[in-house]
Amino acid sequence: MSSPISPACARPEPALSRREVMAAGAASLALAALPASTHAAAPPALAELIARVTEGAVPERARITFDIPQLVENGNSVDVAILVESPMTEADHVRWIHVIAEKNPFPDVARFHLTPRSGRADIRATLRLATSQKVAVVAALSGGGYVMADADIVVTLSACIDGG
C-alpha cells in the first residue's frame, strides 16, 4: 500500500480545492513532460505507465465500461466513452479517470477530475491516436484503490495519401 502521505491515502476532499488543483496540475504537467520516446530504446510498457499514475498500486480490472472502436476510422478523432460503477457519494466516489495511449508520443492523454456532485462517473471524449495500440483507462477511487480497463485498437490508413 502507498505511504501515509501519498494522495491515495489522503482524506478525500468533497470539492476540488485550490491546493489540490495546483498539486494535480503540477503532477500532470510533469507527466506530460516525459514523452515515452525519451526513455531507453523501447517505450515504457503499459504496466509501467499505469504504475506511474497509481504510484505503484496494481489496479483491479473491474467496474469500468470502456467503449472505444476496435477499428478506428481516423486516428485524428477517436470517440471514447468511460463509465465507472460508483455511487458517487462523499464516502465512495471516483476522484479521477486517467487515459493512457501506450504508443502515442505522449502516452498520458487526458485526465478527468470528478466530484460527488458529478452524480455519475460517465465521460465521453474525442482523442487522437497515433497508431494501432492498447489504450487503458485508470480510475482513482476515493477509498484509495484503483480500477482499470483497457482495449486493443487498430488505426487504419485512409484510402489515399492525399495531402489533406
Partner 1 sequence: MSAAGRTSAIALLALAGAAAAQEIKPGSAFLSPQMQRQQEDEARNPGWLWVEQGEELFSRRDGTAPTCLSCHADPRQSLRGAAARYPQVDATSGKLINLEGRIEQCRVDRQKQPAFGYESQELLGLTAYVASLSKGVPLAVSAEGAAKPFYEAGKAFYERRQGQLNLACTQCHDGLVGQKLRGDTISYGIGSGYPAYRLEWNELGSLHRRLRACSLGVRATQFDYGSDDYLALELYLAVRAKGLALEAPGLRR
Partner 2 sequence: MASFNARITMPAEAKAGEIVEIRVLVRHPMDRGGQVDSEGRVVPRKILNRLTVTYAGEPVFRYDMHTGVSANPFVSFTTRAVETGDLTFEWREDGGATFTRTARLVVT
- Using CB under 8 A, list all residues that contact partner 1: 69, 71, 73-74, 76-77, 79, 156-164
Residue 4 near which of partner 2, partner 1, none (CB within 5-8 Å, type-dependent): none
Question: Which one, 34 or 110, has the nearer CB to partner 1?
Answer: 110
| 3-state secondary structure (DSSP) of residue 126 | strand
| 3-state secondary structure (DSSP) of residue 73 | coil
Residue 159 near which of partner 1, partner 2, none (CB within 5-8 Å, type-dependent): partner 1
Q: E strand or H helix at 30, and its extent?
A: helix 18-32
Interface residue with partner 2, options 11, 126, 161, 162 (CB under 8 A) = 126
Write out the three cell numbers for 75.
Answer: 486516428
Q: Is 54 in the site for partner 2 (CB under 8 A)?
A: no
Write out the three cell numbers for 47.
Answer: 504496466
Beta-sheet pairing, 146-155 with 71-72? parallel
- φ and ψ at 17, to 5 degrees? -75, 160
CB distance 90 to 80 below 8 Å: no
Q: Is 133 in the site for partner 2 (CB under 8 A)?
A: no
Q: Whole-angstrom Cα distance, residue 79 to residue 147?
A: 21
Residue 110 near which of partner 2, partner 1, none (CB within 5-8 Å, type-dependent): partner 2
Residue 156 near which of partner 2, partner 1, none (CB within 5-8 Å, type-dependent): partner 1
Q: Whole-angstrom Cα distance, residue 75 to residue 111?
A: 19
| Footprint of partner 2 on 82-121 (CB under 8 A) | 99, 101, 104-115, 117-120
User: Which residues are near partner 2 by CB under 8 A?
Assistant: 15-16, 21, 24-25, 28, 32, 76-79, 99, 101, 104-115, 117-120, 122-129
